[in-house]
């Protein structure tokens, strides 16, 4: 078997030969002339001269050998729906959607904004856009009208695809009123709105603009819409980075490079094979949903499981902490992709649920989205008895930067580490001030990438090349390198550990401390289920660390003596691990921490509440009561 070290080295030393080989994993309508054009760094152009299509590679090319094989498995524990589409059925639905969009005036190069819950029609819309050569922009369902309006103005879509409503934990979230208000607020007005009616909430249709998907679909049941062959460097989609302030920052992705990157990652990283089933618990509003719910698994000829709902609710709409494992058993899932936050939610369920189902098909659980703490990793590893493989990447990268490539060479994961650099990525640690490369083990620096970035990486910021260069490539003095804006260290074996955002640094009396390091220390206490640490302004020290902890024993929340005792023990842990300087000024206990519905911790919102500031746009927040708990604690001192 190939040694990964050799595989990686070839990708760095002979990139053209390496990526030309990976390019054979997809279909090309026209072969490429040049593997990588890096004549104008940092703008890398991959597979110039080639023509291909994402939808062809995800759907059409599989019809010959696996037309009847499951392609898209839709499960909603919000509505009790469970439906499987074969590749042939998916092909037909995508053509109906493409024909409907074409009827509404969508052509190659036009933008289509998709504001949808996790339903099959959202997948049809994404693939139909790719088929037509239109650029899709998926906005997370449930975004507030103001946030949605800013994205409408930036993307200037010809058509918006949406639905009457989504649902979360049995609570209906009407989308149509939010969308109507967003269009009212936006300067750009779409020509048409295409709506899926799930019968969850009433809709007022705007005459001449709003169209129902079922009506248009009925007109195009026998539609035949050929794939539009696109230049490899043509834009496939834009997606807005989470946490953006001010003008939205649209990450722009190409077509050919992205298809090759995903095909290669399914083989080399996720060790997947055609005919198997892939289950990502993310949302299409985030990049994981693009890469590993829609395009990646389908390009690989796999069935992809698209899930709407909580991990604690069953198809009978009753509480069920084993629903994900039930689905793994039923659909013989071989690779599963989730987030550390979701695992922490499951950690509160009956541990017997992990042994109740036949999980023998599952080869690995992959986690990403935020750093994976060791206690959580160890708990799920011992429960599932399969490798737990963390991975680190960004909206901008499109696929993992750091992980383990088990499809090349089996390697052990290391608790607390997302892994080692993936092929094509020249990962370095640089000193934040001098730009000097750090080469010794356990030296803390900024994680950066040297160009050219590999296929699948962002091309630029949509309509703003200058912002792309200034934001990402000019943050390290005297060097043109891509900054991840994350702190990291590397151990003696080359495994990286991510310590938190460079902008999540606490400056305590002139000493710089990473919030992630303090969180790691606190999470090591046996009484801690979850923790978030933020820096709060302090008149004396500049900033102090404030910790918010979800205790494993909820009785602590009503027991002031027990809370005081646990707080003292946590302080002692931090003292021993990091020193007294890193000790939080307070440890406050809450029943739940504020997160987005995709599972990301809202640390900046926590910080804003602690400092008495406006917490900003919280429309993607999972549980509004979580932030109110913190507000109440701060008000009571």
Res. 246: pLDDT tops 60: no
Alpha-carbon distance values, 277 to 143, 266, 286 (Å): 30, 12, 21
Most confident of 240-249, 340-349, 421-430, 535-544: 421-430
Q: How far is CA 302 from CA 86, 359, 376, 388, 557, in A?
A: 11, 18, 29, 21, 46
CATH 3.40.190.170 assigned to 509-636: no
d(CA 484, CA 481): 10
What mean pLDDT is predicted for residues 34-52?
98
What are the pLDDT digits (tens) for 265-302? 999 999 999 999 999 999 999 999 999 999 999 999 99
Q: 410 and 392 in contact (C-beta within 8 Å)?
A: no
Kindly report the length of the chain.
637
Q: Is 421 strand, coil or helix?
A: strand
What average pLDDT does range 404-428 have in this prediction? 95
pLDDT in tens, 133-153: 999 999 988 677 888 998 999
Looking at residues 320-347, what average pLDDT do you find? 93
Contact between 542 and 511 (Cβ < 8 Å): no
Fold of 4-472: Rossmann fold (3.40.50)
pTM of structure? 0.87
582-609: average pLDDT: 87
- Which comes out higher in pLDDT, residue 32 or 520? 32
Helix (H) and strand (E) counts for the chain? 20, 32
Is the pLDDT reported for residue 332 higher than 60? yes
Read off the pLDDT band of 512 (50, 70, 90).
low
Q: So what's the pLDDT on residue 537?
A: 86
By CB atoms closer than 10 A (0-12, 13-18, 19+), residue 1 is exposed
What pLDDT was estimated at residue 115? 97
Split at pLDDT 50, 70, 90, the class of 420 is very high
**pLDDT band for position 510 (50/70/90)?**
low
pLDDT surpasses 70 at 243: no
Closest Cα to residue 256, out of 10, 481, 459? 459
Mean pLDDT over 559-569 rounds to: 94
Q: Is the pLDDT of residue 245 over 50?
A: no
Pair 19, 455: CB distance under 8 Å: yes
- Name the band, by pLDDT with cuts 50, 70 and 90, for residue 474: very high
With CA atoms as reference, report the closest residue to 359 among 292, 433, 284, 277: 277
- Cα distances (angstroms) measured from residue 338 to each of 103, 220, 288, 369, 417: 37, 36, 9, 8, 16
Of all residues in the chain, the percent with pLDDT exceeding 90 is 75
Mean pLDDT (whole number) for 382-404: 95
DSSP letter assigned to residue 301: T
| Confidence check: pLDDT of 244 > 50 | no
pLDDT score, position 299: 98
593 confidence band (pLDDT: 50, 70, 90): very high
Q: Is the pLDDT of residue 230 over 80?
A: yes
Write the DSSP assignment of 520-566 as a string of letters.
HHHHTSTTEEEEEEEEEEETTTEEEEEEEEEESSGGGGG-HHHHHHH
Q: Is the pLDDT of residue 587 over 60?
A: yes
In the chain, where the domains are located: 4-472, 509-636
- For the chain, what is the mean pLDDT? 92
Residue 327: its pLDDT value, please?
Answer: 98
Residue 375 burial (CB count, 10 A): 19
Local confidence band at 369 (pLDDT 50, 70, 90 cut-offs): confident
* Inter-residue long-range contacts of 169-177, CB under 8 Å, 24+ positions, other chains counted: 169/78, 169/310, 169/313, 170/78, 170/313, 170/317, 172/200, 172/201, 173/141, 173/142, 174/200, 174/201, 175/115, 175/116, 175/117, 175/141, 175/142, 175/201, 176/201, 176/203, 176/204
Contact in structure between 344 and 379 (CB atoms under 8 Å): no
For β-strands 165-168 and 171-174, DSSP reports them as antiparallel
CB 93 within 8 A of CB 125: no
Percent of the chain with pLDDT over 70: 97
Q: What is the CA radius of gyration of the chain?
A: 24
Q: Residue 422 in 3-state DSSP?
A: coil
509-636 matches 4-472 in CATH topology: no
Phi-psi region of 313 (alpha: psi -120 to 50; beta: other; left: phi over 0): beta
Rounded Cα–Cα distance for residues 305 and 280 (Å): 7
Residue 355 has phi, psi (to 5 degrees) of: -115, 5
Q: Produce one character per residue of 415-439: b if its CB has 16 or more CB atoms within 10 Å, e if not.
A: ebbbbbbbbbbbbbbbebeebeebe
Q: How far apart are CA 73 and CA 85, in angstroms?
A: 6
Residue 576's pLDDT is: 80
């Amino acid at each position: 078997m190939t040694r990964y070290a050799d595989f990686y080295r070839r990708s760095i030393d002979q990139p053209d030969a390496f990526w030309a080989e990976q390019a054979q994993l997809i279909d090309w309508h026209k072969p490429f002339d040049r593997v990588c054009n890096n004549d104008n760094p940092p703008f890398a152009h991959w597979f110039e001269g080639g023509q291909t299509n994402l939808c062809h590679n995800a759907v059409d090319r599989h019809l010959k050998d696996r037309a009847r094989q499951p392609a898209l498995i839709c499960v909603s524990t919000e509505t009790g729906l469970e439906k499987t589409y074969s590749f042939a059925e998916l092909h037909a639905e995508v053509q109906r959607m493409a024909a409907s969009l074409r009827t509404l005036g969508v052509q190659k190069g036009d933008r289509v904004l998709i504001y949808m819950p996790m339903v099959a029609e959202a997948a049809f819309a994404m693939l139909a856009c790719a088929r037509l050569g239109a650029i899709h922009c998926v906005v997370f369902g449930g975004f507030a009208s103001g946030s949605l309006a800013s994205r409408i103005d930036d993307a200037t879509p010809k058509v918006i695809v949406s639905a009457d409503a989504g649902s979360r934990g049995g609570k209906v979230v009407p989308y149509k009123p939010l969308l109507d208000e967003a269009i009212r607020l936006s300067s750009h007005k779409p020509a048409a709105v295409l709506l899926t009616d799930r019968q969850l909430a009433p809709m007022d249709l705007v005459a001449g603009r709003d169209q129902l998907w079922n009506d248009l679909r009925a007109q195009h049941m026998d539609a035949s819409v050929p794939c539009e062959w696109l230049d490899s460097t043509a834009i496939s989609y834009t997606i807005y980075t989470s946490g953006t302030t001010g003008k939205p920052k649209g990450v722009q992705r190409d077509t050919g490079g992205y298809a090759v990157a995903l095909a290669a990652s399914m083989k080399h990283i996720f060790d997947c094979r055609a005919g198997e089933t892939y289950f990502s618990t993310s949302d299409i509003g985030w990049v994981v949903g693009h890469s590993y719910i829609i395009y990646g698994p389908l390009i690989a000829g796999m069935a992809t499981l698209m899930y709407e709902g909580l991990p604690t609710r069953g198809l009978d709409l009753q509480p069920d902490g084993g629903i994900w494992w039930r689905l793994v058993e039923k659909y013989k899932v071989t690779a599963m992709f989730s987030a550390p936050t979701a695992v922490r939610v499951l950690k509160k369920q009956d541990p017997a649920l992990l042994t109740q189902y036949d999980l023998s098909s599952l080869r690995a659980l992959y986690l990403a989205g935020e750093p994976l703490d060791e206690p959580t990793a160890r708990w799920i590893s011992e429960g599932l008895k399969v490798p737990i493989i963390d991975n680190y990447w960004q909206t901008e990268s499109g696929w993992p930067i750091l992980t383990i490539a088990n499809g090349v060479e089996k390697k052990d994961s290391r608790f607390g580490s997302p892994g080692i650099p993936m092929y094509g990525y020249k990962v370095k640690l640089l000193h934040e001030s001098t730009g000097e490369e750090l080469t010794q083990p356990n030296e803390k620096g900024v994680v950066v990438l040297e160009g050219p970035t590999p296929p699948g990486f962002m091309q630029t910021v949509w309509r703003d090349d200058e912002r792309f260069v200034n934001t990402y490539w000019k943050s390290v003095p005297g060097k043109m390198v891509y900054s991840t804006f994350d702190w990291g260290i590397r151990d003696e074996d080359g495994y990286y550990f991510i310590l938190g955002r460079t902008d999540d640094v606490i400056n305590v009396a002139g000493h710089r401390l990473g919030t992630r390091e303090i969180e790691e220390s606190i999470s090591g206490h046996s009484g801690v289920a979850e923790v978030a640490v933020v820096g709060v302004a302090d008149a004396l020290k500049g900033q102090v660390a404030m910790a918010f902890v979800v205790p494993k024993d909820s009785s602590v929340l009503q027991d002031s003596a027990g809370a005081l005792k646990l707080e003292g023990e946590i302080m002692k842990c931090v003292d021993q691990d990091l020193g007294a300087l890193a000790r939080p000024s307070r440890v406050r206990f809450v029943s739940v921490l504020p997160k987005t519905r995709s599972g990301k911790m809202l640390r900046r919102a926590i910080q804003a509440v602690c400092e008495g500031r406006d917490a900003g746009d919280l429309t993607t927040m999972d549980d509004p009561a979580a932030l109110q708990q913190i507000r109440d604690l701060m008000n009571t001192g």
